[in-house]
Amino acid sequence: MNSALSLTEKDIRKAATRVLAKGKYRIVYDAPSLGAVVKVPKDYTPQPGDEKWADPLEHARKEIATLNEIHMNPAFLHLRRYTPHVFFSNPETGIIVMRRYRRGKPTRKHAAEERVISRMFRDTLRMFTADYGLQNLMRDEAGNAVLVDFGY
């Protein structure tokens, strides 16, 4: 998913100016000069008994693999319109650069749309996760729904 922008990780880190959000697995930075956000896995020290999914880098790798699968597999064509535009991703470092989307006003219509979209992803990908939901459902410039987290 590396794009023709020819971004290097040094360019990306320089463009990431402020923290937008901190989640369980990563920190999301604003990169206004790119019109993007940069997702960086948090530092992690494995603990005895930790599951594989506890590692933020594995979470990022899963997201990259899922997005690649959606965009490469013809069976998932119906899901593509709800996925973010990814400018750059690196499974080695877990860094993902995607277009910046805005959070929509929480309305009854959006809540119903979120339920339908999240169930469609769960049913199609056989992924059962709490990551689908209004907190990860953003809007593009035209107001269309875009899911922005595809980890576990």
CATH superfamily of 9-147: Phosphorylase Kinase; domain 1 (3.30.200.20)
Of 39, 124, 126, nearest in space to 82 by CA: 124
Distance CA 105, CA 123 (A): 26
Assessment of whether the complete model's pTM goes beyond 0.85:
no
Three-state secondary structure string covering 89-100: EECCCCEEEEEC
pLDDT one digit per residue (tens) for the chain, 152 residues: 444 345 666 777 777 788 998 888 889 999 988 889 999 999 888 788 877 678 899 989 988 998 999 999 999 999 899 999 999 999 999 999 999 998 877 777 777 887 888 788 877 877 645 455 557 788 898 888 888 887 66
Backbone angles phi, psi at 120, to 5 degrees: -60, -45
